[in-house]
């Protein structure tokens, strides 16, 4: 039961964020994470991620950190 509750909390936190693909003619494609207010999120001093995988990993770290903070 506790695992279900933890998964629900993690899912709720992750729903507050979205990954967006940014394209521009002059720079390579980058990915960004935005919060529920549409603000760009920085993680490990980075705002732009070169691959979707990097953005997803960073988002997972952000969500897990918030989960740990909420458990305290």
pLDDT of the chain along its 72 residues, tens only? 667 778 888 899 999 999 999 998 888 999 999 999 999 999 999 999 999 999 999 999 999 999 998 877
Per DSSP, the three-state class of 7 is helix
Number of H helices, E strands in the chain: 2, 3
For position 65, what pLDDT does the model report? 94
For position 25, what pLDDT does the model report? 86
For position 1, what pLDDT does the model report? 63
The structure tokens 């909420």 sit at 70
For position 3, what pLDDT does the model report? 72
| Cβ neighbours of residue 40 closer than 8 Å, sequence gap 6 or more | 32, 33, 34, 47
């Amino acid at each position: 039961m506790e695992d279900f509750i933890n998964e629900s909390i993690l899912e709720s936190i992750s729903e507050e964020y979205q990954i967006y693909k940014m394209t521009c003619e002059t720079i390579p494609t980058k990915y960004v994470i935005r919060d529920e207010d549409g603000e760009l999120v920085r993680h490990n001093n980075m705002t732009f991620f070169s691959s979707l995988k990097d953005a997803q990993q960073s988002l997972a770290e952000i969500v897990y950190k918030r989960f740990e903070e909420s458990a305290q």
